[in-house]
Structure 1
Amino acid sequence: MTSSTPPTESQAFASLSLPDSMLDNLANLGFEQMTPVQAASLPASLDGKDVIAKAKTGSGKTLAFALPMLTRLDPAMYAVQGLVLCPTRELADQVAKEVRKLARFLPNIKVLTLCGGMPIGPQIGSLEHGAHIVVGTPGRIEDHLRKQTLDLSRVNTLVLDEADRMLDMGFFDSISNIISKTPGSRQSLLFSATYPDSIATLSYDFMREPVTVEIDTQHTQTVIRQRVIQVEKDQRDEVLVGLLSHYQPASCVVFCNTRQSSEAVTDILRAYGFSALALHGDKEQKERDLILARFANRSCSILVATDVAARGLDVDDVEAVINYEMTRDAEVHVHRSGRTGRAGREGLVINLLTASEAHKLDGIQKELNVELTVEPCAKWLSIPLAPYKAPMVSLQLDGGRKNKVRPGDILGALTGAIGLQGSQVGKIAIFDFHALVAVEFDASRRALDGLSEGKIKGRSFRVRRLR
């Protein structure tokens, strides 16, 4: 089931099979009409079905998963019956606060927040007194499971909130481990702003015939705009620099046909001050993994790639694709273009075309069933140089999976003693012997100094900024 229908008169909360006491509490809190994600997901979730809901932040998703969770609670049983996993402490605190308000119609419901960056002792003490609902981050939930201070055997509702963000931060293994400690009979509710392959994999592993709900109030269809610019071979570099200076895409893939071209173009862009990395088949797998991780975490804005190397690219928000060299295969062109304009966003593809490549354009127009206008390049030869910084910075720690370093350990260190906000921390990638964490540019010095001077799991790790 997929729905994007806005609420109508008949989609008031009173139209649902909810206890009168819950409806009264909702009315007192000012909730009368359902938002689109609530109207689309609540009938299925209240019926006990697993639900996958794709909806943006601010769409009312907390209430969408809290109501079915609260209807299944037994207030007389002091055991964890609802578990909500969140990517950051800030979101967990926000969710717990909202759930407490929604639970006012029930007597003595205890909602406990378990997050990293906070002392674990008081949390253990609170768990000893019992809790009905736990809202927490994967790393700290795993800590309690390891210490056997948290029992999830009575959980009947499991919620993954902002699941895509948790997977971006490297919590796939942690989430899978936590889920394995819950009963197979539980209801599972997954909320995510996007639906990458990793979400599909996770949902396939732990959900039972989930109802899928997709709410997108803006772009309902993918729109990819194609531009073709006529260039001489010796003008490609200058036009490329002009395009990047003008559009300044936070994420851009520049396609070349050979390894030599990709390296040469990368060297030119870096010399002009752009954040660029080359990706081609001659790179060692470890280096390729690191380059892809840096592009995905937005600490590198421009990826200069060959077609073979880019097959491992799984990034939903590539703003632009520039074909520095046109491919002779129209199907490959479509594949290149498909790197942008994902998840309902508008995409931009710019093609640099030499006179000798006119036949390639004919094949592409037939494949796309469109007629493309060829523009002169004069405008792009006079754009002032304007290199720009990537929005994030990658910090590499010389400790990884083999050192038992987990994403939650790094996130806890950054948001705990170092004092960063969860929103300032980006994707976290854990490799065998090192880890990569993205932090906002303005917070990178503080994060680097804090991680270098502090400890993770009682150990000091060498930390460096990747450039």
Structure 2
Amino acid sequence: MNTQEILSKLHISELGQMQKDASDAVLHTDRDVVILAPTGSGKTLAYLLPLVQRLDAAIEEVQAVVIVPSRELALQSNDVFRSMGCGLRSMCLYGGRPTMDEHRAIQKVRPQVIFATPGRLNDHLDKQNFAASDVRWLVIDEFDKCLRMGFRAEMEKAVDGLPTVERRILLSATDAEEMPRFVRMGRTERVDYLDEEETTPERIGLYVVHSPEKDKLNTLVMLLRDFGAQQTIVFLNYRDGVERTAKFLTEKGYVVSAFHGGLDQRQREEAIYRFANRSANILVSTDLASRGLDIPDVENIVHYNLPVGEEEFVHRVGRTGRWDATGRAFMLLGPEEHMPEYVTVPTEDYVPANPTAPVAMPVMSTLYIGKGKKDKISKGDILGFLCKTCSLSSSDIGRIDVYERFAYVAVSRKLAKKTMEKAKGAKIKGLKTVVELAF
């Protein structure tokens, strides 16, 4: 399958220059490749598009391993890979679920590409749950984070466990001060699109909102009222701050997803899912959400707590203005707070124009459908059912995800109740099923 066919499936008209240069470096040189580009510029496709052209669909074993720092990035990268429809099989491996369950899935799926966090990858390598001898490609996404001291021992072990790697691709939105020897980089081609002077892309406006009180919750509410139903991520530095802020906003009537490292796997995945399919219009999070998420329609970023450093600032702001879209980032400053020195781009003071506007609800709701892949149900089946049986138009329907035994579908919030009423007792492909509100 050629690149244009894949882009057509992804509804992308043309690649950016960074992605073209990255493809050239992977396809037309025999060197290891380092890709440096701002957050939101499309680095995942920059390596996946040329990588799939270098893999052999006839080889049944794992040929490429992609190491990522978080389960969220593993899941998301795997989703992008599968949506490419390139005829290759993939899996993601990460902590928070039994290794044995993943091993059974590896035996069933026979992946040719694996997306994995370092620790979980080592678990499988130790147990020889897949053959490392056929792995020729190693990708390290967000290598600046993967190669920090906290990951270094696990990373070194993982690289040592893949002795047959011939080519390496490393990606990041910030450059690393040094490249550890254990990565074993050979002759290297650099695709560098970082601007050392630019911490915020020109397509993202940066604004300052002054809070008269040290506790900025009331100022945050006025700002969110001004945003209406726009998708917004509110960043805080600590878990307890996330919980407190999410609870406060929920009590005010907002539909909020809270996201931090203290949640279990299912809670984290559900929080991101609700926000990504627009069933929640506010995501309150620690810096865990500043990397590894590719949610394209985030209009606003709010720094409730100032980022602890420039790198955190860059990655937070990069959650909006994905690819060529525009976005806005807001710094909430209390009476004794000042703009960090690393923010060198011009800012504007922002005063909410509609601070007393009513609380805006998300545009979508998520419905649960009690049939899935085991029942031979596809996305197209669900789309047809909603349009024909429930009288929805395609514009009323958002993201559809089909799992083994059930499915989720986002529908217009205004039509969710009516949709459930019409679906009651109806059949999908001749099968009666439950259709109810998930969240």
Superposition TM-score tier, normalisation by shorter sequence = 0.5 to 0.7
TM-superposition CA deviations, 1:391-448 (whole Å, max 9, x none): 1111122343455432222112112222222222111123344321011123212322
TM-superposition CA deviations, 1:231-253 (whole Å, max 9, x none): 25544111111111112242111
Match of residue 176, structure 1, among 63, 85, 100: 85
Q: Which residue in the other structure is 1:414 paired with?
A: 386
User: SS state of the match for residue 363, structure 1?
Assistant: coil
- Within 5 A, what are the aligned runs for 1:55-454? 176=85, 223-231=203-211, 234-358=214-338, 361-365=339-343, 369-372=344-347, 383-454=355-426
Structure 1 residues 335 and 178 mapped into 2: Cα distance closer, same or farther (>3 Å)? closer
Q: Is the 8 A contact 1:222 1:342 kept in 2?
A: no
Matched residues in 1 for 2:3 and 2:209: separation?
52
TM-superposition CA deviations, 1:305-348 (whole Å, max 9, x none): 11114534211111101111111111111111111112322211
Amino acid at match of 1:311: R
Matched residues in 2 for 1:433 and 1:259: separation?
33
Deviation at 1:255, TM superposition (A): 0.8
Deviation at 1:453, TM superposition (A): 2.2
Q: Is the 8 A contact 1:222 1:341 kept in 2?
A: no
Amino acid at match of 1:409: D
**Unpaired segments of 5 or more residues in structure 2?**
14-75, 90-140, 142-200
TM-superposition CA deviations, 1:322-379 (whole Å, max 9, x none): 1111111111111111111123222110111235543xx33332xxx3244566xxx5
Q: Is the 8 A contact 2:229 2:360 kept in 1?
A: no
TM-superposition CA deviations, 1:186-216 (whole Å, max 9, x none): xxxxxxxxxxx9xxxxxxxxxxxxxxxxxxx
Structure 1 residues 235 and 463 mapped into 2: Cα distance closer, same or farther (>3 Å)? same
Matched residues in 2 for 1:419 and 1:178: separation?
34
Matched residues in 1 for 2:84 and 2:425: separation?
29
Matched residues in 1 for 2:86 and 2:340: separation?
52
Q: Is the 8 A contact 2:229 2:361 kept in 1?
A: no
Q: Is the 8 A contact 2:235 2:287 kept in 1?
A: yes
Q: Which residue in the other structure is 1:209 paired with?
A: none
Deviation at 1:53, TM superposition (A): 6.5
Matched residues in 2 for 1:417 and 1:374: separation?
50
Asked which structure has the greater CA Rg, the reply is 1
Matched residues in 2 for 1:269 and 1:395: separation?
24
Deviation at 1:292, TM superposition (A): 1.7
Deviation at 1:54, TM superposition (A): 8.1
RMSD between aligned residues: 3.8
User: SS state of the match for residue 464, structure 1?
Assistant: strand
Matched residues in 1 for 2:297 and 2:353: separation?
28
Amino acid at match of 1:362: P
Paired-residue identity, %: 31
User: SS state of the match for residue 308, structure 1?
Assistant: helix
Deviation at 1:226, TM superposition (A): 0.7
Q: Is the 8 A contact 1:281 1:309 kept in 2?
A: no
| Matched residues, number | 267
Matched residues in 2 for 1:272 and 1:49: separation?
48
Structure 1 residues 374 and 56 mapped into 2: Cα distance closer, same or farther (>3 Å)? same
Structure 1 residues 286 and 407 mapped into 2: Cα distance closer, same or farther (>3 Å)? farther
Using the size of structure 2 for normalisation, the TM-score is 0.53
Structure 1 residues 50 and 352 mapped into 2: Cα distance closer, same or farther (>3 Å)? closer
Amino acid at match of 2:436: R
**Unpaired segments of 5 or more residues in structure 1?**
1-47, 60-166, 181-196, 198-220
User: SS state of the match for residue 321, structure 2?
Assistant: coil
Q: Which residue in the other structure is 1:462 paired with?
A: 434
Matched residues in 1 for 2:354 and 2:393: separation?
41
Amino acid at match of 2:396: Q
Matched residues in 1 for 2:249 and 2:295: separation?
22
Q: Which residue in the other structure is 2:160 paired with?
A: none
Deviation at 1:387, TM superposition (A): 0.4
Matched residues in 1 for 2:259 and 2:83: separation?
30
Structure 1 residues 462 and 222 mapped into 2: Cα distance closer, same or farther (>3 Å)? farther
Matched residues in 2 for 1:344 and 1:249: separation?
22
Structure with greater helix share of residues: 1
